[in-house]
Structure 1
Amino acid sequence: MLDKAVDREEQPELSLILTALDGGAPPRSGTTAVRIEVVDINDNAPEFLQSLYEVQIPENSPLNTLVAAVSARDLDAGTYGNVAYALFQGDEVTQPFVIDELTGEIRLQRALDFEETQKYTVEITATDGGGLSGKCTVAIEVEDVNDNAPELTMSTLASSTPENSPETVVAVFSVSDPDSGDNGRMVCSIQDDLPFLLKPTFKNFYTLVTERPLDREERAEYNITISVSDLGTPRRHTQHNLTVRVADVSDNAPAFSQPAYTLRVRENNSPALHIGTVRATDADAGANAQLTYSLLPPSDPHLPLASLVAINPDTGQLFALRALDYEALRAFDFQVRAADRGAPALSSQARVRVLVADANDHAPVVLYPPPNASAPCTELLPRAAEPGYLLAKVVAVDGDAGQNAWLSYRLLQATEPGLFGVGAHSGEVRTAR
């Protein structure tokens, strides 16, 4: 009979010597050896070598990568001691891992993404042939890899930036990187040769501002490249290009092509004759560069400028309003103004001098002898007058100028041809013989 329970795992077999005694005197006995084999029953569940396994795996590990190997043992024998591994409660579907039921090797069956899930907790069961099981936990930490480039999100972008303004905000943007550690730390920069600065405001937000007042006339637009790079290995970069246009401000007065103009017009001109053009330019743009020309009141209050000259307000062309008379007005001066259409409007002035050129529009007038005398002019000639004797001098004038006023004299008629002659330039009448 069994005196106490036996345990195969402690003693798989028992060896006994059985002795039989009779009742004689002296008693006699016989012995026999008895070997008892303890038959196994499934009384031991599988036990893992560790209740908790902790492992790390990079997120960019290829499929079928060995993540960990778990091991459990069962003290039973035969089928009761054979262990099969499995993920607990359908983890094969919800987690990117698979376990080999014979070896306990856990391998990767789907790609990992640190930015999506950083940690997995996997429960493993080991079940023997009799249905008993044991459990362990595998804590898997996904290690970040620098697999994401930084991202830049523009929050505010000014369509244009006015010139001459002090520090002006051009753009507001944020940067982000879903990686961790140095892989997610970022630095921002722009080109060094531009009058702009990047200023951090709060976490991962920046403003792009002007470093100094801009001058549109010097440069009308800037192409800026914002570079964002992380501190991972290898570094990943992102660039964002933007164009900043400088808005014009009316800060330049019109400038005439020359400070003074001299125009020449022949007298007796036809009314509305184009006599010249003044030109001015403005370095600004748009309405700030659109010019209007006008005449300023003359400094001489007696000069009837409004009846003499007009100007086209758009082109700067000057016109003589009426026929000019050299003998009445040989030259006159006035000021022309060019004003832009900015706010405030800026202007400049130029001096214009008009010279009236003489035309031969006056016949000579004889002053002596008087042309309208009631009787012919009589001169006495001495009988003894020698050749070249000055008998008389014809005096005449011409209202024109220059060559138009140069006079020449000649005899038209004489009762005694060859007796007298007249100086072609002096008008002196002398005896010829």
Structure 2
Amino acid sequence: MTTRPFFPEERVTLKILERSDPGSRFPLQGARDLDVGSNGIQAYSISPENEYFSVDFESQIKGKKYIELVLEKLLDREEQAEVDFNLIAVDGGSPPRSGTTQIHIVILDVNDNAPIFSQDVYVGQVLENAPEGSVVLRVAATDRDTGVNGDISYRFSQSGDQSHSAFMIDPMSGEIKLTKPLDFEAAEKHELSVQATDGGGLSAICRVLVQVVDMNDNAPEVIISSFTSPIPEDSLPGTVIALFTVRDRDAGANGKISCALEDQLSFSLRPAYKNYFELVTVSALDREEMARYILTVTAADAGSPPLTATQTFTVDISDVNDNAPVFSQTSYTMYVRENNVPTVLVGTVIAGDGDVGLNGKVTYSLVPAHLTEQPSCSCISVNSENGDVFVLRPLDYEQVKQIEFLVRASDAGSPPLSANVTVHLVVVDENDNAPLVLYPSQDSSSPSSELVPVSAEAGYLITKVVAVDADSGQNSWLSYHLLKASDPGLFVVGAQSGEVRLRRSVTERDTVKQKLVVLVRDNGQPPLSATVALSALLLSDFSDVRLPHSSLTTEDESSSLTVYLIISLVFISLLFLVSTAAFVIHKVCKRKQLKDGHVFYGANNLQSSLADAGAAGTLPHAYCYEISLTTGSGNSEFKFLKPILPSLPPQLHATGGATSSEQGFPCGLGTSGDIEPDNPGMHSAEQFNSLSFN
């Protein structure tokens, strides 16, 4: 069994100078093979083959432990910096076996290349007024070597008679710069020699030609003789603003000067004499359009390039009162709610004046619409300083819906200018009026009654509530609602129309007399409302209406009214009992006196008795009372009949005594149940009024 040859190292690196002589030998450690004899290493080869190296293994045959690489051709690092190949060892076995190692050849640089300039002659131009440090030009040289051998430095060559005091060169970049300004008049050109040297001492030289470019280095001068500012805006065209002269210390074309005014339509320049120029106005001025002009006069010579000088004139325009105040709007519309608080701010009129100072100070005032009128409504006021408009007193939309007045804006110029504007003050409605019911009328003490046949079906129109509202807009939008009813399920009210209709058919169980209250409400915020009371009678036959008017009063009076009536009845009853008792006692006494025959019923005696009785607070005569109840009305009335005179003795009639009316006694029965005294002067204690109880 044979083994494979092997090298001590898998990769071998050799460094060889590029200028090594051909035939130079470089020893390498040979391969090893554990086999002996014919199975040992028999040959070495290079793969791939190259023109620079070959292998010599005879030294190993002679007993040496190494083989040698032989340089066959001169190396050049600038053409090929590295060479790589494989060294192969082959034994003599069958089949033959081989071993391989990599050979890496690094070619070391040798300073065999001198620097080379890109140009033999460099030409540059520099302005004569170029500042110190200005770059004139840059020279560049290259070197194919590397490392120190390729590092190039630059310097001026001292050969020749050239002075280099005005120039300096950067040793690393090759830039040539000025150390001081050049003067074309002193030297038109400068010739320099620049040497480039590498790190190995090799060098090269080039020529540099610097041309100085002549410059127009004297600018024109502008000298002002006179200048006026500000000027009035009503100055006439042709007014002279400034007078100035120009000059240039250069000669020839460089000293020839021309002047121009930049971008101005309102001013111009005109020659005066020699080098003098005038700045004048050419059109009307308007301070409101342009209050200040910045005028730039440029003086330029004919040099190449030309030099210029500029002079700025700041011209202020003084104001003239030539603008009337102008309102921000052609008319104003302001709004105020009715019932406003006094002195409420409703808006502001604003006027501007293009003038300044007193000419632009605006004051405001109220003016009449016509010359013959007095100033506008006394309820309006305007602040003279800022144009605030105030309403001085509360307004009522129902009385006035809009006020139109004029406001004048005047400036403080001389003479003053003014302008007028119309202001429309619109009064905005507030919900301050409750609905007013027109029908049915609520003037009577009892609500009107509507007759409804018992045969009426659902939807039957009973009546229609008509109401109006003095407000406007949504404040006057009315809606109708059923607020209260004897039988709420029987009636329905149209929310928009106010029509009162039957919700269902009438039945026998329904009460003949129905009461309902309709609420009328507007759409304001907050809403206001009114109520209307209605009465409906459910009848089977309209021709048989026997209920008196008094029966149309409500059967369902409020409980509070019933209590008051009961208290009144009790009080009257007590008063009646007391009066009856007093009467009986008095009557008994009178009869006793008559039996004794000592009482004469004369006129004088009767009046005296009445006076005494009135003073005593008792009834002087006997009265009879009847209580009659009316039928069919549902109401009870106590009717008090007028007193019936007692039977007087025949002596009274015989003696021509006074009749009952002559004695001041009430006589006759009142049809209404009220006591109607014949004598208006009767004491109030002798009058009794009838009381009705529902």
Give secondary structure in 2 for the equivalent of 1:403: helix
Residue matched to 1:94:
none
User: Is the CA contact 1:190–1:224 (under 8 Å) kept in the aligned structure 2?
Assistant: no
Residue type of the alignment partner of 1:279: I
Note closer, same or farther for the CA distance 1:299–1:391 as it changes in structure 2 (3 Å cut): farther
Residue matched to 1:214:
285
Give secondary structure in 2 for the equivalent of 1:208: strand
Asked whether 1:163 is paired with 2:244, we answer: no
| Uncovered stretches (5+) of structure 1, i.e. residues with no partner | 1-146
Alpha-carbon distance, 1:160 to partner: 0.5
Aligned equivalents of 2:257, 2:457: Cα separation in 1? 118
Alpha-carbon distance, 1:203 to partner: 7.9
Aligned equivalents of 2:219, 2:450: Cα separation in 1? 124
Note closer, same or farther for the CA distance 1:373–1:174 as it changes in structure 2 (3 Å cut): same
Residue type of the alignment partner of 1:406: W
Asked whether 1:421 is paired with 2:492, we answer: yes
TM-score normalised by length of structure 1: 0.55
Residue matched to 1:34:
none
Identity of aligned residues (%): 45
| Structure number with higher strand proportion | 1
User: Is the CA contact 2:260–2:299 (under 8 Å) kept in the aligned structure 1?
Assistant: no
Give secondary structure in 2 for the equivalent of 1:379: strand
Note closer, same or farther for the CA distance 1:230–1:394 as it changes in structure 2 (3 Å cut): closer
Aligned equivalents of 1:419, 1:237: Cα separation in 2? 108
User: Is the CA contact 1:421–1:429 (under 8 Å) kept in the aligned structure 2?
Assistant: yes
Residue matched to 2:174:
none
Note closer, same or farther for the CA distance 1:239–1:358 as it changes in structure 2 (3 Å cut): closer
User: Is the CA contact 2:247–2:257 (under 8 Å) kept in the aligned structure 1?
Assistant: no
Residue matched to 1:319:
390
Q: Within 5 Å, which residues of 2 pair with 1:186-201?
A: 189-194=259-264, 195-198=266-269
Aligned equivalents of 2:460, 2:219: Cα separation in 1? 122
Residue type of the alignment partner of 1:159: S
**2:402 aligns with one of 311, 317, 331:** 331
Asked whether 1:255 is paired with 2:326, we answer: yes
Residue type of the alignment partner of 1:376: P
Note closer, same or farther for the CA distance 1:148–1:276 as it changes in structure 2 (3 Å cut): closer
Alpha-carbon distance, 1:302 to partner: 9.3
Note closer, same or farther for the CA distance 1:326–1:301 as it changes in structure 2 (3 Å cut): farther
Residue type of the alignment partner of 1:419: L
Give secondary structure in 1 for the equivalent of 2:489: coil
Aligned equivalents of 1:381, 1:158: Cα separation in 2? 104
Note closer, same or farther for the CA distance 1:322–1:260 as it changes in structure 2 (3 Å cut): same
Residue matched to 1:293:
364
Higher Rg:
2
**1:392 aligns with one of 463, 468, 472:** 463
Q: Within 5 Å, which residues of 2 pair with 1:124-163?
A: 152=223, 154-155=225-226, 157-163=227-233
Note closer, same or farther for the CA distance 1:332–1:342 as it changes in structure 2 (3 Å cut): same
**1:280 aligns with one of 338, 341, 351:** 351
| Structure number with higher helix proportion | 2
Residue matched to 1:369:
440
Aligned equivalents of 1:367, 1:271: Cα separation in 2? 34
- Higher RCO by CA contacts (8 Å cutoff, separation 6 or greater): 1
Residue type of the alignment partner of 1:196: F
Aligned equivalents of 1:366, 1:176: Cα separation in 2? 98
1:147-189 CA distances to partner (integer Å, 9 max, x unpaired)? 998773534x32301113213544454659899x999x99784
Residue type of the alignment partner of 2:410: A
Residue matched to 1:62:
none
1:200-244 CA distances to partner (integer Å, 9 max, x unpaired)? 667877653212222223322223345678999xx9987654311
**1:271 aligns with one of 329, 337, 342:** 342
User: Is the CA contact 1:292–1:339 (under 8 Å) kept in the aligned structure 2?
Assistant: yes
1:364-396 CA distances to partner (integer Å, 9 max, x unpaired)? 111222222133312222343333322222222
**1:224 aligns with one of 295, 302, 305:** 295
User: Is the CA contact 1:186–1:228 (under 8 Å) kept in the aligned structure 2?
Assistant: no
Aligned equivalents of 1:408, 1:301: Cα separation in 2? 49
User: Is the CA contact 1:150–1:230 (under 8 Å) kept in the aligned structure 2?
Assistant: no
Note closer, same or farther for the CA distance 1:168–1:316 as it changes in structure 2 (3 Å cut): farther
User: Is the CA contact 1:172–1:205 (under 8 Å) kept in the aligned structure 2?
Assistant: no
TM-score normalised by length of structure 2: 0.36
Give secondary structure in 1 for the equivalent of 2:345: strand
User: Is the CA contact 1:169–1:207 (under 8 Å) kept in the aligned structure 2?
Assistant: no
Aligned equivalents of 1:300, 1:416: Cα separation in 2? 69
Note closer, same or farther for the CA distance 1:224–1:426 as it changes in structure 2 (3 Å cut): closer
Alpha-carbon distance, 1:245 to partner: 0.7
After the TM superposition, which of the residue ranges 277-286 and 201-210 deviates more from structure 2? 201-210
Aligned equivalents of 2:349, 2:376: Cα separation in 1? 17
Give secondary structure in 2 for the equivalent of 1:287: helix
Aligned equivalents of 1:170, 1:408: Cα separation in 2? 83
User: Is the CA contact 2:492–2:501 (under 8 Å) kept in the aligned structure 1?
Assistant: yes
Residue matched to 2:451:
380
Aligned equivalents of 1:429, 1:172: Cα separation in 2? 96
User: Is the CA contact 1:410–1:422 (under 8 Å) kept in the aligned structure 2?
Assistant: yes
Note closer, same or farther for the CA distance 1:302–1:392 as it changes in structure 2 (3 Å cut): farther
Note closer, same or farther for the CA distance 1:206–1:191 as it changes in structure 2 (3 Å cut): closer
Give secondary structure in 2 for the equivalent of 1:409: strand
Residue type of the alignment partner of 1:319: F
Alpha-carbon distance, 1:363 to partner: 0.9
Residue type of the alignment partner of 1:260: S
| Uncovered stretches (5+) of structure 2, i.e. residues with no partner | 1-217, 506-694
Residue type of the alignment partner of 1:353: H
Aligned equivalents of 2:482, 2:313: Cα separation in 1? 92
Alpha-carbon distance, 1:264 to partner: 2.3
1:268-326 CA distances to partner (integer Å, 9 max, x unpaired)? 12122221222232333333322222233136999983323222222222222222211
Note closer, same or farther for the CA distance 1:330–1:151 as it changes in structure 2 (3 Å cut): closer
Asked whether 1:308 is paired with 2:358, we answer: no
Aligned equivalents of 2:407, 2:323: Cα separation in 1? 18
Give secondary structure in 1 for the equivalent of 2:346: strand
User: Is the CA contact 1:407–1:425 (under 8 Å) kept in the aligned structure 2?
Assistant: yes
Alpha-carbon distance, 1:413 to partner: 3.0
RMSD: 4.0
Q: Within 5 Å, which residues of 2 pair with 1:91-102?
A: none
Note closer, same or farther for the CA distance 1:296–1:186 as it changes in structure 2 (3 Å cut): farther
Note closer, same or farther for the CA distance 1:190–1:248 as it changes in structure 2 (3 Å cut): farther
Residue matched to 1:341:
412
State the aligned residue count. 286
Aligned equivalents of 1:208, 1:359: Cα separation in 2? 69
Q: Within 5 Å, which residues of 2 pair with 1:345-360?
A: 345-360=416-431
Residue type of the alignment partner of 1:164: D
Aligned equivalents of 2:373, 2:433: Cα separation in 1? 26
